[in-house]
Structure 1
Amino acid sequence: MPFGEMSITLDDVACLLHLPIRGIFWIPQDVTEELAVELVVDYLGVSQSQAQSHVRSCRGSYYKLEWLYDIFVHHRAASSWAYATRAYLLMLVGSTIFADKTFTLVEARYLLLFRDLDGCSGYSWGAAALVTLYRYLGDASMYSCKQLGGYPTLLQCWIHEYFPTVGKRGENWNPAGNCGLPRAMRWSYRQGVLKVDDLRPILDELTPTDVIWRPFEDHRAWRVFDEICLYRGCLKWGETVVPYLPDRCLRQFGYRQYVPSPPLDCMMVTDIDVDWISYHQSVVDVISSSSVATTPSEVVDGYLEWYYRVSHPRLVPLHRDAPREVAVPVYDAGPSNPDWAHVSTLIRRYLRQVNAEEEDPQFSDLFEALHISRSH
């Protein structure tokens, strides 16, 4: 943003989805197609032949969400409540917080989360939702990515709460009329008309006064703020590990924003579970350098100068003078002969397909051939 960093936090997840933040992280287990069959036989009450046929049709260790719904309906009618509950929960997480880009399948290994129905409440489901969304948002930042996985509703409702002037939304009830429902249920979908290119200048024109910095203060009767949301460290779910850095968005917690520490390298962190359990010291470290903000968007002197120096605060670059003309090297000029032009096109197409880099020795001959073809 042009006025500093913002992010979806654990407190946002707690208020929007009413998922528990405290709890353990999940350590995954590899699930083969054979084990995927055994799991639904043992924990969903499906016959061996039906399970084998279904897993085979999914071409991997997955289950179809529609199939899980049919299992749920069948066991509910038969009062087989344990089977019905597992089928429903797996279908629920597969279509929300763990949704992949197919939006029709769920990984079979997630059924392991619900083997012990009494114990599944011990996981940090809020962290699970946030880690998964962070991972897919990281993928979505790449130009080649065309679709977002995770739980887009979480992202969309977060935008509605913090940025009331951005996008189109319907409101089911105002916060004063809430009776304890997750805050995300306040909003209903409305089809927008703006494209990405239209939104970029709108975001660049936002000011701190366009932001509701603490939108959930009127929701505290149902979700009290938990100090663990100020934990600074790494979060993990399965094999995915992401940095969680509340010191970069302190205004969302009611504190004055200072210049934060360098970001964590989660690849170098070895005791994430221990850090999570003993979160108190990291919370002290985060808030000890700050103070309660006197205005919602307060920052320390020098913060914005630092931010503009190290980050990319604007999506649309400011107007610059037209670049001066530079002579084009002969090997960068387009080929004049049609045959050579065709050769050049074929080489460039292949190099793009394999994501080749010119510095890679194994492609040096091809890049040399490309330069030769373009010089004719």
Structure 2
Amino acid sequence: MAGVTPALLDPTIDSGHQSFLAVVQHQQLNVLHPRPPAELVPVDLRWVPRLSEAGLLTVARLAESALVKLDRSLLSSLVDRWRPETHMFHLPCGEMAPTLQDVAMLLGLSITGDAVGPRVVPSTWLEDLEECFAGVTTTIDPEDFNEHPQSKGPSKSWLIQFQPDLLAADANEYNVTRSLEAYLLWLFGYIMFNNSHGHCVDRVLLPYAQEIADADEDAIPLYSWGSAVLACIYHGLCKASRQNDRNAVLTGCLILLQLWSYERIAIGRPMIDQSPYKPDMYGDTEYDRPTMGTLWYSRQKTWAHVQTRQSYPEFVVEFDQLTPEDIMWEPYSPLAIAARAPLGISSVCTQDQGLWMTTAALVYDVAVEAHYPERVMRQFGRRQSFPVSSALDRVQCHDHSLSRAGHPFSTMWVTRLQPWVAAWDDADEQLAEDTGPHTESSFLAYLTWYEPKTRCRLTYVDMHPQPHVATSQDGYTRHKDEALAGAFEMCRLLELDCSLNVMRIYGGSTMSMPAQLEAWIIQRDRARGIHQAFGTRTEYEDSYGSSQASTSVPCGPAWQQPPLYHRQYEGSQQFTGAGPSSYHPMPPPGGYEGASSYPPPPPPPTQGWSQDNDVASFDDFTRLFATPTQDDDPSLHTPVALLRRPARDVRPPDRHSYPTDHVHAQHKRGRNGRCG
């Protein structure tokens, strides 16, 4: 059974996936390296008309509002859960993903327009570019200009030499045009389409920047930048989810991914001023206005006390504990928009709503990526249907894995990608079917179907760890893993104790006062042990006045019981297995008369406890509540401590920069500038 792959996952892809390495092979995952821009480039007023016509003004305003800082720990934690088979993050709360709606509302990029497909870039691109910029006059001596890497594209250090504030005071229109071209290449290469080079912009973007800079203002081509950006981040996530190298680079529009997480999930979210946008954030036109994402870059950020640098292990655990109640499923409601931007947001954000639910494939250069709004219908406030086909059914593997490697200047790419580029023209005719409004019952049924068929938790709980020898290559200390293992086992024992008492009641046994007192003391001590495993320093006062410290919980080799895996549920009512969590101790209202989804109470066991002395046999009850063999496969279900947090109402991201179990820390002084 060790080789069995969950139903939603592809065995070939899964064998090298981050979650497989962490859960099945027990490898320690590495934090990825994004490549954010290290400079802030302002928008020159002379560029505004062309940027507006090209549909790039809104994202340019966002990029100039603050220096882009990326949270490596947060982004890496998300990548671990990205599944190329479905183009979704597989989380305990269900599937989630950035969609065209997020691109429009957060970045303000247009979705209508031609697909940003492959273009022919001649091998003489460097000579052509230098000739084009030869006549530009700047305050920098031409002899001090930086050179380009021959094989990749124009270098960033060369491009930023043409910023508008470095142009000569008497710069003519041609100089301004070339300055705009250099800025567009920077915007493409470091904000919208980050690559793995870091020091240069991909040369495939040269034709697009030249077109926008040189075309007449009334003839500037309009491209679907929104679909291209989403295709680029999907492509980067698919690639990074199968790389566990210390130097692996995360590519794509990373500010989109980070803003999407800030809006929807309270993990790694900064604390900022939530007051409405001020009038000085608005330009002269309806296009030159802020987006929903502007909030996160225009305000000073602080973080909760518990959010420190190098917090990747903590984020992994927090994502493993996500519940549907922790998610802001619909952050772009009219009420949320009015609260954040009383004067409105850029019209670009909402002008293409008709394409948010398109199922047409997304294209960026040679990357072809499936867009699957059907899998995240709750993000649109609609009912989540299931089952849903795989993304690989919509874009086959041979098209999904295209790469320019070995053929950088080939003209074949234009012909190869032409069917996908042409298909985008009919994107408005390929829309996901409406499934009706969201209901909690339908989403619960979806989760019942979804969770046993994937791997949505990554925290590996080793119930039999070997003694660890500290080395200089350790990424983090192991005491939290050991504490989790001890608390996990204590929860299992607590569940057995509770099930035993419930069965006594159903069996008609009358528990004496000493027996009741003993049962409650055992459960109390179990709970104290859980607290102790997580490092609390509490001393408990018994009701009769004496003081007793928490019982220590042995972790590691002392625990010899097998781990408890998540039960599989077949359907929304009938349960398989005979574990404590598949047995309902509380009868439905009105008892068990008539049809009911609850099973009748089982007869009292003949062994394991005695009505005379109420002494339980632990071994007997362990066998009674043993987990079915079909669930004992770590490749199917990650062993994880089922420490459920109390349900809460998810409020807009005003104060919550962390889940509720850490909200208390927000009252302490935060830290600025956390990016690692």
Q: TM-score range by the shorter chain?
A: 0.7 to 0.9
Deviations 1:6-40 (A, max 9, x none): 00011101111111111111232343552232134
Task: Please give the alpha-carbon distance, in whole angstroms, between the structure 2 residues aligned to 1:76 and 1:257.
Answer: 58
Find the structure with the greater CA-based Rg. Answer: 2
| Larger proportion of helix | 1
From 60, 83, 99, the counterpart of 2:151: 60
Deviations 1:218-257 (A, max 9, x none): 3384332602110113111110111110001011111011
Please give the TM-score of this superposition, normalised by the length of structure 1. 0.73
What is the CA-CA distance between 1:315 and the residue it aligns to? 2.1
From 219, 234, 238, the counterpart of 1:134: 234
Whether the 8 Å contact between 1:234 and 1:266 is mirrored in structure 2 is yes
What is the CA-CA distance between 1:76 and the residue it aligns to? 6.6
Task: Please give the alpha-carbon distance, in whole angstroms, between the structure 2 residues aligned to 1:97 and 1:229.
Answer: 19
From 431, 436, 444, the counterpart of 1:291: 436
What is the CA-CA distance between 1:71 and the residue it aligns to? 2.3
Q: Say whether 1:257 aligns with 2:347.
A: no
Within-5 A mapping of 1:1-376: 1-42=91-132, 45=135, 57-73=148-164, 74-75=166-167, 77=169, 78-79=171-172, 80-117=175-212, 118=217, 121-145=221-245, 146-163=248-265, 165-174=266-275, 180-188=289-297, 192-193=307-308, 195-217=311-333, 218-219=336-337, 221-222=344-345, 223-224=349-350, 226-259=353-386, 260-263=388-391, 264-267=393-396, 271-283=419-431, 286-288=432-434, 290-294=435-439, 299-300=442-443, 302-316=445-459, 322=562
SS at structure 2 position matched to 1:147 = coil
Task: Please give the alpha-carbon distance, in whole angstroms, between the structure 2 residues aligned to 1:208 and 1:60.
Answer: 47
Task: Please give the alpha-carbon distance, in whole angstroms, between the structure 2 residues aligned to 1:40 and 1:27.
Answer: 25
Task: Please give the alpha-carbon distance, in whole angstroms, between the structure 1 residues aligned to 2:367 and 2:243.
Answer: 21
Cα gap change, 1:185 to 1:21, in 2 (>3 Å):
same
Cα gap change, 1:279 to 1:31, in 2 (>3 Å):
closer
Query: What code does the residue aligned with 1:287 have?
Result: E
Whether the 8 Å contact between 1:31 and 1:61 is mirrored in structure 2 is no
1:343 alignment partner in structure 2: none
What is the CA-CA distance between 1:300 and the residue it aligns to? 4.8
What is the CA-CA distance between 1:198 and the residue it aligns to? 1.5
Task: Please give the alpha-carbon distance, in whole angstroms, between the structure 2 residues aligned to 1:291 and 1:81.
Answer: 52
Whether the 8 Å contact between 1:256 and 1:292 is mirrored in structure 2 is yes
Cα gap change, 1:28 to 1:291, in 2 (>3 Å):
same
Query: What code does the residue aligned with 1:109 have?
Result: V
Task: Please give the alpha-carbon distance, in whole angstroms, between the structure 2 residues aligned to 1:305 and 1:275.
Answer: 35
SS at structure 2 position matched to 1:58 = coil
Deviations 1:352-372 (A, max 9, x none): xxxxxxxxxxxxxxxxxxxxx
Whether the 8 Å contact between 1:72 and 1:88 is mirrored in structure 2 is yes
Q: CA RMSD in A?
A: 3.1
What is the CA-CA distance between 1:204 and the residue it aligns to? 1.6
Query: What code does the residue aligned with 1:219 have?
Result: I
Unaligned regions of 5+ residues in structure 1, if any?
324-376
Task: Please give the alpha-carbon distance, in whole angstroms, between the structure 2 residues aligned to 1:173 and 1:76.
Answer: 41
Query: What code does the residue aligned with 2:239 have?
Result: D
Task: Please give the alpha-carbon distance, in whole angstroms, between the structure 2 residues aligned to 1:133 and 1:116.
Answer: 24
Cα gap change, 1:113 to 1:63, in 2 (>3 Å):
same
The 4+ residue runs of structure 1 with deviation greater than 6 A are none
Cα gap change, 1:176 to 1:35, in 2 (>3 Å):
closer
Cα gap change, 1:96 to 1:316, in 2 (>3 Å):
same
What is the CA-CA distance between 1:144 and the residue it aligns to? 2.4
Cα gap change, 1:90 to 1:157, in 2 (>3 Å):
same
SS at structure 2 position matched to 1:255 = coil
Structure with more contact order per residue of length (Cα contacts < 8 Å, sep ≥ 6): 2
Query: What code does the residue aligned with 2:206 have?
Result: L
Aligned residues: 313
Query: What code does the residue aligned with 1:150 have?
Result: G
What is the CA-CA distance between 1:2 and the residue it aligns to? 0.9
Whether the 8 Å contact between 1:170 and 1:187 is mirrored in structure 2 is no
Query: What code does the residue aligned with 1:20 have?
Result: S
SS at structure 1 position matched to 2:433 = helix
What is the CA-CA distance between 1:89 and the residue it aligns to? 1.1
Cα gap change, 1:76 to 1:144, in 2 (>3 Å):
farther
Query: What code does the residue aligned with 1:316 have?
Result: T
Cα gap change, 1:182 to 1:40, in 2 (>3 Å):
farther
Task: Please give the alpha-carbon distance, in whole angstroms, between the structure 2 residues aligned to 1:236 and 1:197.
Answer: 34
Whether the 8 Å contact between 1:24 and 1:122 is mirrored in structure 2 is yes
SS at structure 1 position matched to 2:369 = strand
What is the CA-CA distance between 1:265 and the residue it aligns to? 3.8
Task: Please give the alpha-carbon distance, in whole angstroms, between the structure 2 residues aligned to 1:128 and 1:99.
Answer: 12
Cα gap change, 1:44 to 1:75, in 2 (>3 Å):
farther
Which range moved further: 248-257 or 71-80? 71-80
SS at structure 2 position matched to 1:5 = strand
SS at structure 2 position matched to 1:212 = coil
Please give the TM-score of this superposition, normalised by the length of structure 2. 0.42
Deviations 1:112-168 (A, max 9, x none): 0022224555111111211111111112212424321222221111111001x2114
